[in-house]
Amino acid sequence: DAKTTQPPSMDCAEGRAANLPCNHSTISGNEYVYWYRQIHSQGPQYIIHGLKNNETNEMASLIITEDRKSSTLILPHATLRDTAVYYCIVRLYSGTYKYIFGTGTRLKVLA
């Protein structure tokens, strides 16, 4: 199974870009990388996903390295409301799709 490795915690100043790294060195060619975040104990909220190319939406940007072994989620202008646990997830397929959640990165945005 492709697993992900993330730093357990990070701090970011309000208004600055938050760059959250993820290592997924065992990822296979057709496995997508998804990012979710969880605020307190609410349901995980989808942020963005990608396969090979960099992606951007209204919430964030996703940069995937050329060899696909790592990626970075970028929150361009972090706010206090972005304080959450961020999960980098690889979705693999074995008969059906399976999402492998790790323990995530706890991001704290500081005023």
Partner 1 sequence: EAQVTQNPRYLITVTGKKLTVTCSQNMNHEYMSWYRQDPGLGLRQIYYSMNVEVTDKGDVPEGYKVSRKEKRNFPLILESPSPNQTSLYFCASSFEGTNSPLHFGNGTRLTVT
Residues that bind partner 1 (CB under 8 A): 32, 34, 36, 41-46, 49, 51, 87, 91, 96-99, 101-104
**Smaller CB separation from partner 1, 51 or 110:** 51
DSSP class per residue in 87-108: EEEEEEESSSEEEE----EEEE
Helices (H) and strands (E) in the chain, counts: 0, 10
**Smaller CB separation from partner 1, 18 or 47:** 47
User: Least Å distance between CB 70 and partner 1?
Assistant: 19
Torsion of CA 5, 56, 41, 43, to 10 degrees: -110
User: Least Å distance between CB 96 and partner 1?
Assistant: 5
User: Least Å distance between CB 98 and partner 1?
Assistant: 7
